[in-house]
Amino acid sequence: MAQKIIFDTDPGIDDAMALFFALASPEIEVVGVTTVFGNVHTELATRNALALLEFAGRSDLPVAQGAVRPLHLPFEEPATLVHGQNGLGEVALPAPKTSPDPRPAAQFIVDAVMRFPGEIILAPVGPLTNIALALMLEPRIVERVAGVVLMGGAATVNGNVNPAAEANIWHDPHAADLVFTAGWPVTMLGLDVTMAVQMDDAYFAGLRTSRLGEFIHAISRFYLEFHRQVHGLDACHTHDPSVIAYLIDPTLYTVEYGPIRVVTEGIAMGLTLWDRCGKWLRPNAWTGRPAVGVCTRVDAPRVLALFHERIVGERLPAQ
């Protein structure tokens, strides 16, 4: 039976890649998409989500618009340097013909989880504001979700906003701390593994034999140029699709466990501070908190092969 997910997103080039990856995978049933600020403002995220679903032939799926700002902080600005003004590398899609679900994202999440207890995994790949708002709206969803599998954080490496913080967590650290400590099963795919999977120009060229792959190739132009200019790479990191890869095949990743707290102020705001020890002389802010599954290693060639297979419809040729 396919795993039901709610895909919470701020599309975003790699968000689009992850959404297409999920839609092309029989192991996953996307029951809805919720949108949030981050890579773009929330209204544009919603437009992009609707347009991407229509492009993929899945306009039947509901899209619920979510939070426009963090719980307690202002929203600084969208990541136009990374994703372009339109969020999709300046590749235009037709204006969507469909409209968002009338419910706010948090209510949509609550309704779906309560309708399908124990069946839905929340799969956020942006700031965790919608997930935190749903938790505050209906705390019982903690016992009714199958889990939370998220892209965000950096447990053993530097962040990508500053040395401490990864962007999704930095945008709303208060929401992230609520999500990590709520008591539901959480798996974190952070920069520890997402930066280790890299797609270069030749890889993207190999996707062009399918309609989805042709679109991914087009939006990757902007993304690759950002990585060249900022990171000095001739490839891009594979952030959001990593969540889908994990959901399809967790054996692609090595997972270690321990509680995480998120720093919510100061120069280290957004830091996902992971307790890897668990033995302390005195109680602290991590004591008694639930263990989070932290992906620490990844089989990058297998992830790349899986993504290629699902987008193109055939296995990646042997190298």
pLDDT tens for 44-71 read 999 999 999 999 999 999 999 999 999 9
Whether 11 contacts 49, CB under 8 Å = yes
Side by side, the strands of the sheet bearing 63-65 are: 63-65, 28-35, 3-9, 120-124, 147-151, 186-189, 292-298, 253-258
Q: Is residue 317 part of a domain?
A: no
Model confidence pLDDT, tens digit, residues 225-279: 999 999 999 999 999 999 999 999 999 999 999 999 999 999 999 999 999 888 8
Q: Is residue 319 part of a domain?
A: no
Q: Is residue 277 part of a domain?
A: yes
Model confidence pLDDT, tens digit, residues 128-167: 999 999 999 999 999 999 999 999 999 999 999 999 999 9
Going by C-alpha positions, the residue among 72, 91, 78, 17 that lies closest to residue 44 is 78
Instruction: Please say if 10 is a catalytic residue.
Output: yes
Q: Is residue 295 part of a domain?
A: yes
pLDDT bracket for residue 13 (50, 70, 90): very high
Whether this model's pTM surpasses 0.85: yes
Structure tokens at 78: 């969208």
Q: Which domain holds residue 65?
A: 3-312
Q: Is residue 222 part of a domain?
A: yes
The domain that holds 286 is classified in CATH as 3.90.245.10
**Residue of 8, 10, 15, 299 with catalytic role:** 10
Burial of 129 (0-12, 13-18, 19+ CB in 10 A): buried
Q: Is residue 179 part of a domain?
A: yes
Q: Is residue 37 part of a domain?
A: yes
Tally of domains in the chain:
1
Q: Is residue 318 part of a domain?
A: no
**Residue of 83, 217, 239, 308 with catalytic role:** 239
**The predicted structure's pLDDT at residue 152:** 98
